[in-house]
Amino acid sequence: MQAMIIDITQENFEQMVVQNSMHVPVLVDFWAPWCGPCKQIMPVLEKLAHDLAGRFILAKINTEEQTELANQFQIRSIPSFKIYHQGQLVEELQGAQPVSAFQAALEPYLKADPSEELRLQAHDAFAQGQYDQAILLLGEASKANPNNFRVHLDLCKMYFQSGHLEQAQNLLEKLPDEAKESQDGKSLMALFKFTKIVAEVGSLEEIQARLAADQNDCEALYGLSGYLMLNNDPENAMQALLKLFMIDRSYGDNLAQKTLIEIFELLQQDHPELVKAYRRKLQNLMF
């Protein structure tokens, strides 16, 4: 689907705003070329229109040119925003707002994103071992909404979990920064990091044998932390890294501290108390 961004005039207002709002919500932006905040918010709204392609219309009214409309709606300051749904004015916002405010205002009136339902079906198929079906469903989800980066992150995860590491990494590298900086994106980046760690150190059996011979083996401890993270045991991974920090805090250009901080960021949203406890332990060791 394409983003729907329209310039509104007195002549097309009824059709483009009121009539179109019977099908999708219409966000009307009253702006002017001389207005600094208007120029700042315009690209934000245009990006939102692309991200939610086809799910709402961004209708722009230049108040300098469309003075009749500005007077009709008693626009006293700009930017000013109105949302139409089912032919009615349902929401109003005033002044420059964060994108979250527009998302929240539009949310009650947006039709369901078909790509999200396909994503859920893909998750179910993958959980049941139907790998090819899951990939096919994600392909359909991507066609339904090419701007839903969660679809591509899901595909990365499935590639990763099925052992197609090179495909997963290639796809992840091509994704926009917004996807990489999301919680799922950061999790995937971390998984690749820990995969690389264990690949350089050897098998788990080799690591265990090295630690049995020398419990202060820095490389083996670092490798162990990678295995533990990949096996969803972050607490023991952090313990291994704290031990490494105590033995040699400068090992590998401060790898123990840097990796702990990355794990803190990764776990902060879902495990804030665990992060708080281990952050305190690291600070106690540092000072």
223-257: burial string, b at 16+ Cβ within 10 Å, e else: bbbbbbbbeeebeebbbbbbbbbeeeeebeeebbb
Residue 5's Cβ-side half-sphere holds a number of Cα atoms within 13 Å equal to: 15
Distances, alpha carbon 60 to alpha carbons 45, 108, 183, in Å: 10, 21, 33
The H-or-E segment that residue 193 falls in is helix 183-201
Spatial distance between the Cα atoms of 285 and 287, rounded to a whole number of angstroms: 6
Q: Beta strand 57-62 with 4-7: parallel, antiparallel or unpaired? A: parallel
158 in Cβ contact with 188 (< 8 Å)? no
Cβ-based neighbours of 4, under 8 Å, separated by 6 or more: 24, 49, 53, 54, 56, 57, 58
Q: Which residue in this structure is represented by tokens 């790998």?
A: 131
Catalytic residue list: 35, 38
Give the residue among 114, 90, 122, 98 at the shortest CA–CA distance from 44. Answer: 98
